[in-house]
Structures are given as structure tokens and as C-alpha cells.
Structure 1
């Protein structure tokens, strides 16, 4: 399978750990920013819920006594304005879906909006050499408003000479199978790229597809194994930054713990700061809302179990 991928898809290359001087040369003394988001829904069945969104863009270097940008919002179908916004979203994008099903997609959209807003502000505030986004670029291009914000972000990144990488820890594409011979295809269970790449790479190895091989139409995609974890990750790059792919993969390899999950440690640290815990969110809601309102609309019956 390795031989077939190299013959038809791209190059398997070894990555190396960068030393301090090489990192300083690559960064030009500028910080790294990681961006991640968190969403938590409190309540029972739809529409008796309240959802909190929080996006954090965190810099490795503080500026004006802060090292992060935080964007947050709330949504509840019990609120008339929020419900009207969801119905407008359904009319524009999700015809034929129930409100509950549309709400699931609406949450993804709202999270993506906050993340790209935080990332755009971080570009101006911290002037990073690199922004790491948690996930694929297509998350930020699902409708006109998102695409417009993504376009502004990419333009500002270009103006600031900042590199952009989307780190995808769960590979979801299904593009490589068609490049394999039939006997190899017949051994596969699902044919997804995740299955094909599992255990295929040595630690610190990457697959760089030829540029004419389109894994995603909106990004150049490389696959890599950055730790002892045998599951490969994917990395999205802007097409006009393809010349930096190998250097950036070596940097990501340097920033990833050998025994870790296979993604750069900085994204895990950002995730901790962005995460909304159940306990914190419950305390906030219960201390803010009238007890009768909370019990009537938001407390799920499962919490009343005796055992």
C-alpha cells in the first residue's frame, strides 16, 4: 500500500525535529496562535435547552498583558429572537429538516463563526507567524456569511505574512482508495482514508500528495503521523502557502509529544482554556435563572433518578 501511494498519490517523506535556532528562523521571533472552540448544551430535549459557545485564540506570547482572544455567545430555542434566527437559517440552507436537526448544523455554524472571528482579531493583536486552527478549512465556508469572514481572515493573514494550518485529528476523507489496485482495495473494510493510513506511517513521516491530487477542493491536504499514536492526522494548508508545507510539518512534529494524541501540544492547551465544563455551565445557569424557570424548562427528568 505504501508503494502504491508513492507511485500514484505523492511522496512519503521523513520529518525531523527542529532545533531552537531553526524555530527562531522560521518564526522570525513572532508568536504562534492556536484556535479552538467549545460548545455545551444544558437541558433536556429540544427546544428545552440553552447552549453556550466559546472560541479562544491563544498566543504563545502575551501582548498588552493578554495572551488570548475570547469570543462567546449563548443560544436557546426558548428565546424568540434565537428561534427566529434558526428559522431563517433553515429557510436559507436546510430545507426539509426538522428544527431539531437544523439546530445541530446551526450549532456547528455558530461555533465556526466565533472561531474565525477570534482568529481574525488575534492576527491583528499578536501578529503571529502561524495560526493553527482546530479542524478543516471547509468548516469556515459552509454559507455566504462564513465564507465572507473566511475570505477576510485569509486576506489579513496574507497581509500579516502569517501562515495558516488546519489540524484535523479525525481524518474524514475518502479519496485515496481509487488510487489503489483492486486486490488492495478488496482487503479494505470501509475504504476511508482513516482506515488506509492507520499504522501505515513511521513516527515522524508524512504523505505529501502531488498538487494535482485534490483531497479537498478548498485546501492542500497532507497526511502525517506526529507521535507514536498509529492514527494519522490531516493538515490543511492554503494553496498559496504550499511552499511552506514541509517546514511547517517539521514544526508540528517538533511541537507534538511523542506519547501524545498526535497533534501539537499547543492546540491541546488551547482546548483546555476554551472548554466549557458541565459543572461550570450548570452553576452559571442555576445562579442566573429563577429556580422555577430552570426546573420548568431546563432540568431534564434523567437528573431526578434515585439510582
Structure 2
């Protein structure tokens, strides 16, 4: 098989991307950021300092979903969420989602239902942790914003419980998808393309450095009562997002040195405990296949869920 035509197209794309990067580099992004944000520098804590701050451990909350079958609506999803503390307290919640028994309103709505199902399980696990675990520090995988979108009632109940019990919730976003800083940059340099915050901030922050947009900058998250810090917690030049409830920001911000300390220098910038919870809760292909094939009749699997491509 020949690939020369594809290589030529990819080379053209590569040059275009390089030109885009140089364009940003030459427009003094740092100077623009200084006008609209404030920066912080975190420090790594000693073992004694960690013990004093995290006396009752740290809780990580994460969820996972994986499918068996073909395309919508002929598949089954296995969903699970885990809340686990460093003191070995844990709560695993599991569910099954089958779109054949949901309203037939298209793939977009189906995807929203799937996401909401996992969000609800994560919120249920986090609520259990608030009510039953000792720790006052709860790290949730992903932005806090999406919980209010996916499950507004459950999210409000969790917020109320966290504030009532003085449990600090921090959302840790691995893939920053916001465009708040990007839109500011576009306006300043008269740029027409879509710009995401992760692109702007790549390599801008030093290890252990963080940035927050100042009070004058209005964002959707701020309107929803969520404050965000962009931080680089490892040698990886890509930033992560740290979300805090507005009411808890001052207390939550005090924990940033701890999060920095618990993040491996050569890692991908995520606190290690949250990574460990992610690995434990993961719904693997093998797990899905074993569960489905040991419980769903073969005739049903062949009739409804097994696509022809799986028989190649």
C-alpha cells in the first residue's frame, strides 16, 4: 500500500500547525496573560507537613464506562464509580445501561444519557464518602461543571452536603477543554480561529506554577459558582484544571501545595491517588466481555448485540 499522497497532506498540515504555534509564540502571550490573571507558585511539602494536612487521608472519586456490542442502540454499557480513601475506606457502585430500553431519540441524546448515568454514580459514591468516610478532602476526576449539567439535582445535594460537613471538593481536569483564556487571546491579537486554553497555556507555566483569571473576567464556571485554577504539577508542559466551589475556595486553595506534592514529577500532572483510583475503577474490555457472555444468552447476544464486523 502506497502512502505518499497521505504523507504529503500530513506534511502540509504539519507546516500549518507549526505556523500557528509560531504565531502565538510571537504575539507575547505572557504579557496578555499578566493583564488578565494572577499567578501562584506552589511548594512541595515535607512528610510531616503532609501528615499534618491530610491526617484523615484523601478521597478519590472516579467513574468508568465501557460497551459491549455494536452501534446505537444495539449495545450494553457497564458503568461503575468508586470512592476510595487513602485509609482504605471504599465504596463501589455499579450499573448497567441498555439504550434499547430508553427513549429512541437519537445518538446525541443517548450519549448524554450515558454520560449522565456515570456522573450520577460518581455523585452517589462521593455522597457516600461525605457521609461515611473520615477525610475532609475529596478529589473528583474531571471538571465540577459537568455534574451540574448532567445531574443538576444530585449535584446540588452533594454541594449542600459538602458545605454542611466541611468536606472540600476539588475537581481535577486532565483534559482542559475551556476557551476562556483562548477567547481573550483571540480578541487581543485579532485572531479568527478557535483557541482552547490548553493550547495557549502549553509550556507557559513552570513546574509548580498556577494561574487564575482575575475577577473582571466573566466565565460560565464563575456564574455557576465554580472557581478554576490552571496548574502545572509535573514536568509535563500541559496544564490541568483544578475546580473549587466558590464557598470553599480559600480552604481548597490551601490544599494546592499538597496536590503538587502528591503528583509525581515525571508523571502526567495528576495527583497519584486519583490515578490509582482511576486504574482500580476501570471497566476493561475483558471485564465487559466476561460479564456479558456469562449472563446474557448466546442467542440474544447474536441476535441483538454482536455486529458482523466482530466475526471477521
TM bin, normalised by shorter chain, reads: 0.7 to 0.9
Alignment partner of 1:14 is 2:36? no
Aligned residues: CA RMSD = 1.9
Alpha-carbon deviation of 1:24? Answer: 2.8
Alpha-carbon deviation of 1:212? Answer: 4.0
Alpha-carbon deviation of 1:183? Answer: 6.6
1:22-41 → structure 2 map (5 Å cutoff): 22-27=49-54, 29-41=55-67
Residue 93 of structure 2 corresponds to: 71
Alpha-carbon deviation of 1:226? Answer: 0.6
Task: Tell me, yes or no, if the aligned pair for 2:168 and 2:252 is still in contact at 8 Å.
Answer: no
1:141-156 → structure 2 map (5 Å cutoff): 141-142=148-149, 146-156=151-161
Q: 2:165 aligns with which of 146, 149, 160?
A: 160
Alpha-carbon deviation of 1:195? Answer: 0.9
**Runs ≥4 residues deviating over 6 A:** none
SS at 1:58 equivalent: strand
Task: Tell me, yes or no, if the aligned pair for 2:39 and 2:211 is still in contact at 8 Å.
Answer: yes
1:157-236 → structure 2 map (5 Å cutoff): 157-180=162-185, 184=189, 186=191, 190-215=194-219, 216=221, 217-218=223-224, 219-236=226-243
Task: Tell me, yes or no, if the aligned pair for 2:211 and 2:230 is still in contact at 8 Å.
Answer: yes
Q: What are the superposed Cα offsets for residues 164-186 of structure 1, whole Å, 9 maximum, x if unpaired?
A: 10011111111113444867454
Q: Residues 238 and 176 (structure 1 numbering): CA distance in 2 closer, same or farther, change over 3 Å?
A: same
Task: Tell me, yes or no, if the aligned pair for 1:31 and 1:126 is still in contact at 8 Å.
Answer: no
Alignment partner of 1:57 is 2:83? yes
Alpha-carbon deviation of 1:154? Answer: 1.4
Alpha-carbon deviation of 1:61? Answer: 0.5
Q: What are the superposed Cα offsets for residues 273-304 of structure 1, whole Å, 9 maximum, x if unpaired?
A: 11111111111111112111111111121111
Q: What are the superposed Cα offsets for residues 93-150 of structure 1, whole Å, 9 maximum, x if unpaired?
A: xxxxx4222111110111111100100001111131210011111211126xx22211
Distance of 1:166 and 1:77 partners within structure 2: 29
Alpha-carbon deviation of 1:55? Answer: 0.5
SS at 1:141 equivalent: helix
Distance of 1:149 and 1:48 partners within structure 2: 29
Distance of 2:162 and 2:51 partners within structure 1: 20
Residue 5 of structure 1 corresponds to: 33
Distance of 1:220 and 1:270 partners within structure 2: 24
Task: Tell me, yes or no, if the aligned pair for 1:185 and 1:191 is still in contact at 8 Å.
Answer: no
Residue 142 of structure 2 corresponds to: 135
What is the TM-score of this pair, normalised by structure 1? 0.86
Task: Tell me, yes or no, if the aligned pair for 1:227 and 1:262 is still in contact at 8 Å.
Answer: yes
What is the TM-score of this pair, normalised by structure 2? 0.85
Q: Residues 222 and 183 (structure 1 numbering): CA distance in 2 closer, same or farther, change over 3 Å?
A: closer
Alpha-carbon deviation of 1:213? Answer: 2.8
Distance of 1:131 and 1:283 partners within structure 2: 32
Unaligned ranges ≥5, structure 2: 1-28
SS at 2:86 equivalent: strand
